[in-house]
Amino acid sequence: MATRVGHWRLGDFGEWNGRGELVLLGRAGQGANIGGKKVHPLEVERVLRALPGVTDAAVWLWQSHGRDLLAAVVETAHLRAEIERALTARLPAWKLPKTYIIARELPRTARGKLDLAALKQHDGSQTIADF
C-alpha cells in the first residue's frame, strides 16, 4: 500500500481507493503459469547468467497452443546439453526453458544490449554456432 505523495513504477496492477491508498489488484509483467505453478523469466535468466562460462542470457515467455512456455538465449561456448544439465541441477523441471538459442556471440543493439527483437524471430529449434 502506498499514498499519492511520491511516484512509483510498479510491476503490478493497482488502483487508488477513496482514502488515497494504492490497492494492488494483481501482477503485470511476464510471469508464466506453467503446469499451474508460477515462474518469472527473470528468475531463470538470473540462474543462467550465474552459470560458469555463460557471458549473457535472456529468458522470455511465449505461448504455444494456449500454454505458457519459456524460451532462452545463452551466450556461451558450452553446448546446449551442458547448459540444460547445469540448469536441471539448479531448477525444478517445470522452470526449465523449452527452447534455446545457444551461441558464442549473440546480436547486440547499438547500445551493446542483447537484440531481443532479432532473437525472438528465431524459433530456437536448433543451436546456432555463430549468430
Res. 83: pLDDT tops 50? yes
Report pLDDT digits (tens) over 31-72: 778 878 888 888 899 999 999 999 999 998 887 888 888 999
Tell me, what's the pLDDT at 127?
Answer: 44
Report pLDDT digits (tens) over 120-130: 776 544 444 43
Burial of residue 72 (number of CB atoms within 10 Å: 0-12, 13-18, 19+): buried
pTM (2 d.p.) = 0.69
Tell me, what's the pLDDT at 16?
Answer: 82
Please, what is the average pLDDT of the chain?
80
C-alpha closest to that of 1 among 14, 77, 11: 14
